[in-house]
A = this chain, B = another copy of it.
Amino acid sequence: MRSDGRSPDQLRPLSIEPGFLAFADGSVLISLGRTRVICAATVEEKVPPWMRGRGSGWVTAEYAMLPQATPERNQREAVKGKLGGRTHEIQRLIGRALRAVVDLDKLGERSVVVDCDVIGADGGTRTASITGAWVALNLALRRHFDPEKKSAWPIVGQIAAVSVGIVGGTPVLDLPYDEDSTAEVDMNVAMTDAGGFVELQGTAEREPFSRAHLDALLGLADAGIRELFAAQRAALDRA
C-alpha cells in the first residue's frame, strides 16, 4: 500500500482543464494530485536564426516553477540571474518530446513556444508538463491549421509521459515527491500512441537496476500512459 493509498499501478487523480489562460493561443491547467502545471502554447511567425530559409518550423519549451509551488519556497531563477541545470535539462526534454510528434515541415517557418509553469510541485512535474503541453500545442495549432485537413495538420502523433520508479523494492507508477525522494530507481518515460518510446531516462538513485526491473517499469509506464492519452483526447474534445 502506498502512502496515499494508491495501488502500485494507479495514477493520481488527473484533470486537464483547457483554456486556462485568457491570452495564450492554447493553454491548459493539468493536475495530477497536487502536481499542477499551466501549459501554454503560442505560435510565432519566425524561427530561430539557424533555421531560417529552410521552410521548416520549430517547437521549443520553457519550464519554470512559482516560488511557492513547493513546500519550501524556492528562489526565482530570474532573481538568481540564470537558469539552473535542472531547468535546462527539463525544457530540453519537453521540447524534444513534442518535436517527436510534429511534422516540422508542415509548420512552415513558424515556431511554437510552449511554456510550462508549475504552480504545484509534488513530483512528476516534467512528465505532467509533456502531457499537458501536447494538449496546449493542439489548441494553439487549431488557430492556424484545420485539424480536419489531415494532410496539412502538423501533429502526427499523440505523446504523453509518466514517471515510474522502484520504491522499497516495488515498481510503482506516478511517484509523488515523498516516494520520489526515497526511490531506488527513478525513470521517466515518454511514449507515442503508436507504442514507441520517445524518451527513456532511468537513473539509479540508490542502487543499479536489472533488466527484470527495467521490464517491470516499462510495463507500468505503458499502462499509465494509455490513461493519459484518454484524458488528453477528452480535454481536446471539451475545448
Contacts and interface: CB of A to CB of B under 8 A. Distances in A.
Nearest to A115: B67
Interface residues of A, number: 67
Interface stretch (A51-59, A73-81, A167-175, A223-231): A73-81
B204 A199 contact: yes
A34 B62 contact: no
Interface string A18-41: 000111100100000010101010
Interface string A102-128: 000000000001010101111000000
Contacts of A200: 187, 200-203, 214
A119 B69 CA distance: 14
Nearest to A39: B68
Interface of A is mostly: mixed
Nearest to A88: B85
A66 B210 contact: no
A1 interface: no
Contacts of A79: 62, 83
Identify which of A36, A62, A204, A210 gathers the most chain B CB atoms within 10 Å of its CB. A204
A121 B120 CA distance: 21
Interface string A79-109: 1111111111101100010001000000000
Nearest to A189: B202
A195 interface: yes
A14 interface: no
B208 A23 contact: no
Contacts of A64: 76, 78
A109 to B, nearest CB: 17
Interface of A: 21-24, 27, 34, 36, 38, 40, 42, 44, 62, 64, 66-71, 73, 76-89, 91-92, 96, 100, 113, 115, 117, 119-122, 157, 187, 191-192, 194-204, 207-211, 214, 218
